[in-house]
Structure 1
Amino acid sequence: MDQPMTIIEPSHRTPVYGEFDVVVVGGGPAGIMAAASAARTGRSVILLERYGFLGGAGTAGGLSTFCGLHAKVYGEHRRVIRGLADELLDRLERLDGLSQPHLTINDGIQAQAFDISSYKIAADELVGGSGARLLFHAMAVGVVMSDPDTIDAVLIESKSGRAAVRGRIFIDASGDGDVSAWAGVPFEKSPADNGMLYPSLMFRINGVDVAAAGDRPWRTVERLMDAAERAGTHTFPRKKPIVRPQRNPLEWRANLTQLSNPDGSAVDGTDVDQLTHGELQGRRQVLDAFAFIRDNTPGFGDSYIVDLAPQIGIRETRRVFGRYRLTEDDVLDCADFPDTIGVNGWPVEAHVAGTVDFRFQRGENPRGFNQLPFRMIVPERVGNLYVAGRCASLTHDAASAARVTGPCFVMGQAAGTAADLALDAGVGCGDIDVATLQLKLEKAGVYLGREEVTP
């Protein structure tokens, strides 16, 4: 096999952009909460984000829906994600950018739609108002290690050139586990025979005639697509489409694409060639799906595509190995952990080839949520690093549940709060006093799932 062509670059001195107590990489839901919670302890914090706005999949991925804020607790729908999430939702409400919760996944659990522009502003206010420094348009590209177990700096590239951001503690909220991988933390990706969750390209439709669309038109869209598939007139990349109204019912969000390589495998969000292929494929799928919806669904005849998400939505890539790996059984059996940092109520939502496989919590009338252990955000080997979000220590099937917004909020707030405790005690990230962390989280309003809940 031929060796790839290489170019030897000359060595150079990299300027230090700044030195901070806590460096957070990635401005998605985990990064937002990590930066805000760490800054509120009085620590110097910087949040590095490659786009010009926060929100991650919710904004850059066009998701426009909070999944995992709620759980179906013994048959009753309850919001179980609290703490800084309360403040974020309050800000969205004041901006008139938050819809009421709606039932989703066969009416089995609630989700909550939001206005993307409002979310960007609310996230700015939450993070900036907490005292954290924001650096947009800064792409993390590597790390510098002071020793094999300690990160000294994150390297970034921007329009201002290359720079280093030094820190005492780092929080990897990149989604893809970039910082962890560069630092040598062991990780895995799903193998080819049980591949990664398939990405999607989200889009939004405007100009819907609400009266003509009638009651529950999202069911009409699904029924029409199923009928066309059975008749052989159309082939869609994914069954179980999600087409739902936004804050203003004239506008609808559409989540019904599925992006794959020519061999049928899921597009890998860490491979630039596959990402490029996925963006091109996604736009073709959007055009085909929208044309069908417009031409066949009552109320959509004069509608148009108002927005294609800035990037395809990646559901899974690297998952680090931590002190504990959350499993599918933990999710489905509503597991408890002594080191709980919050809860997850979202079921397993596996985006497999051609469809979406939902697996809800087991039992006739389950509690509906599992606790999330502190150990899942503590990676192996590197002592001054937390990993929060979909790249935390999760199995493939557990990631199908705990990758969504709600549990990412939980992991982020816990990581930011824990960073202060580690710095205060002068210990490694995994060696803090967990009881103290739990008390601080509860004082901040986080629901740890420790109170007895009865049917």
Structure 2
Amino acid sequence: MKTIEEPARKVPLYGEYEVAVLGGGPAGIAAAVAAARAGRRTLLIERYGFLGGMGTAAGVTNFCGLHANVFGEMHRVVQGIASDLLARIDRLGGLNAPHLILGKIFAQAYDTAAYKIAADDLLASHKVDILFHALGAGVVMDDARRIDALMVETKAGRQAVRADIFIDCSGDGDLAAWAGAPFEVGDANGHMLYPSMMFRLNGIDPEKAGDAWRTIPALMTQAEAAGTHRFPRKGAIVRPQKSQIEWRVNFTQLARKDGSAVNGLEPDELTRGEIEGRQQAAAAFEFLRTVPGFEKSYIVDLPPQLGIRETRRVVGGYALSGEDVLGCASFEDSIGVNGWPMEQHVAGDVVFRFPPIPASRGFNELPYRMLVPECVDNLLMAGRCASMTHEGQSAARVSGACFAMGEAAGSAAALALAGNTIPRDIAVEKLQQALKEQGAFIGRDQKVPEGL
């Protein structure tokens, strides 16, 4: 690759904080709120002009992993800050009742506008500073193990943010990678989970559509057999939103020319993925117009970006594995739980693998060590870039586990500052106690929360 030399320059210092969080998805929201709630000057940096991460920017429109199937009964096992956010979405009229997936687990749909407004309100109530429209661009290091400043690109040009502790909730592990933390990408062969282009339809006749999500897979099979349509994957998800005239559609799968998943770290692949994703959405819409109740529907929303499920996974003190998920693992340093099964987006299909149901408690604990990277001392990570194997990440990448990890990371940062130590060396028992006192469920000896 040809290069040019950029002249050295002095970069304006945007601000100095105790905690700086990169990324405003579920992990970033919870991390920023937890740190600010503990009295720490906190800044949340987000590339878009709204919060929610893939849940709003990629149009996911439903929370997964908030619930677990505990010995055959559904319980909402992710509490704490997530409960506060959901209550705010509900007060805005934007939260659906939980709905059953595959007959085994609950997900919970929401209105994206309500999510954005509720998240703004949640952060404002805890006095979190927010910097929107700021794209992380690199770091300046104090030394090989300590970050001095995060560089961001804004409409005002490049600026720098200093903090005592940084939390990487970027999803892609950008901050950790720039700081020199080791990371992994994909499975043993470098293959990642496939991205999707979500979209929403309006104008559905709910009475005619009925439980169309039950019949659409068979209609897809018939259409392919007749040669009228071809679909990029099996396992299409088409479900109603809060208003029954609006449905969300998860129907697409984006691949490279060689058939492997589009790489969300490569600009050219992302560009092609966005264009092809919209083409696939248009083709899916054409098919859905043949489904009873959808004849007069129209696409009301194509999200700002492609839905990326997996890129970098930063190496920490422990990598959560697929075996941990299926075996409902426990950890002495648990800081939250994940109730979602393995959800592997493989070529042409989506494969779910559950713990034994109803024989098991249905959730695995999340160890603090998966939030602490190797080689960088004033950094934590939370969300889908945390320390997990490819198989473990297929489960714990979803919003429920991200809320839990984020709340723990923000609380850990505050504890480290209070004890004048680094996050790796905090007393995990104090972190666990603080989380429990603030309403989080971390597993261990706690009673499983009642209700949905």
TM-score (norm: length of structure 2)? 0.98
Contact 2:182 2:315 (C-alpha < 8 Å) held by counterparts: yes
1:221 is aligned to 2:216: yes
The residue that corresponds to 2:117 in the other structure is: 121
Aligned residue for 1:392, secondary structure, equals coil
Q: 2:395 aligns with which of 385, 393, 401?
A: 401
Letter in 2 for 1:271: E
Partner SS, residue 57 of structure 2: coil
Match in the other structure for 1:285: 280
Q: Secondary structure at the match of 1:152?
A: strand
Of 239, 244, 252, the match for 2:239: 244
Query: What is the letter of the counterpart of residue 131 of structure 1?
Result: K
Name the CA distance, whole Å, in 1 between partners of 2:288 and 2:216.
7
C-alpha separation between the residues in 2 aligned to 1:114 and 1:302?
A: 23
SS in 1 for 2:259: coil
| 3-state secondary structure, aligned to 2:194 | coil
The code of the aligned residue for 2:336 comes to G
2:71–2:358 contact (8 Å) kept in structure 1: no
Change (3 A) 1:192 1:234: farther
2:405 corresponds in structure 1 to: 411
DSSP-derived class of the 1:314 partner: coil
Separation in 2, partners of 1:157, 1:278: 24
Whole-angstrom CA distance in 2 between matches of 1:213 and 1:178: 43
Aligned position for 2:150: 154
Question: Which stretch has the larger CA shift, 191-200 or 274-283?
Answer: 191-200
Closer/same/farther in 2, CA of residues 34 and 453 from structure 1, 3 Å limit: closer
**1:124-173 deviation line (CA, Å, top 9, x unaligned):** 01112111100000001000000100001000001011110000000000
1:103 maps to which of 94, 100, 106? 100
Contact 2:72–2:358 (CA under 8 A) maintained in structure 1: no
Alignment of 1:428 with 2:404, yes or no, is no
Unaligned 5+ segments in structure 2 are none
Deviations 1:256-307 (A, max 9, x none): 100011111111111100000100100110010110110x210000000011
Structure 1's unaligned 5+ residue stretches are none
Deviation of 1:233 after TM superposition, in Å, equals 3.0
Match for residue 202 of structure 1 among 198, 201, 218: 198
Partner of 1:50: 47
Coordinate RMSD, CA, aligned: 1.1
Between the aligned partners of 1:53 and 1:452, the Cα distance in structure 2 is 35
Counterpart CA distance in 2 for 1:450 and 1:33 is 21
Give the Cα separation in 2 of the matches to 1:452 and 1:15: 48
Partner of 2:262: 267
Query: Percent identity, aligned pairs only?
Result: 58
Q: Quick check: 1:34 aligned with 2:31? A: yes
Question: Secondary structure of the residue that 2:370 maps to in structure 1?
Answer: helix
Alpha-carbon contact 1:220-1:297 (below 8 Å) kept = no
Aligned residue for 1:417, secondary structure, equals helix
**Do the aligned partners of residues 318 and 129 (structure 1) sit closer, same or farther apart at CA in structure 2, a change above 3 Å counting?**
same
* Counterpart AA for 2:283: D
> Could you tell me which residue of structure 2 aligns to residue 14 of structure 1?
11
- What is the aligned length? 448
Alignment pair present for 1:450 and 2:444 = yes
Mapping of 1:228-377 within 5 angstroms?
A: 228-294=223-289, 296-362=290-356, 365-377=359-371
The partner residue of 1:437 within 422, 428, 431 is 431
SS in 2 for 1:196: coil
Give 3-state SS (helix, strand or coil) of 2:307's partner.
coil
- CA separation in 2, counterparts of 1:437 and 1:321? 21
Do 2:187 and 2:390's aligned partners in 1 also have CA atoms closer than 8 Å?
A: no
Q: Which residue of 2 aligns with 1:67?
A: 64
Aligned-pair CA distance for 1:232: 3.4
The answer on 1:380 being equivalent to 2:377 is no
Q: Which moved more, 1:114-123 or 1:443-452?
A: 443-452
What's the counterpart of residue 133 of structure 2? 137
Note the alpha carbon deviations across 1:424-446, whole angstroms, 9 max, x for none: 11111111010000000000000
Kindly provide the amino acid, as one letter, of the partner of residue 359 in structure 2.
N
Which letter does structure 1 place at the counterpart of 2:85?
A: L
Q: Which residue of 2 aligns with 1:175?
A: 171
The separation in 2 between residues aligned to 1:346 and 1:376, in whole angstroms, is: 17
Check conservation: 1:205, 1:305, Cα contact below 8 A: yes
The aligned amino acid for 1:148 is: A
Quote the offset at 1:193 in angstroms: 3.7
- Letter aligned with residue 47 of structure 1: L
- Comparing 362-371 and 373-382, the one that deviates more: 362-371
TM score, norm. by length of structure 1: 0.97
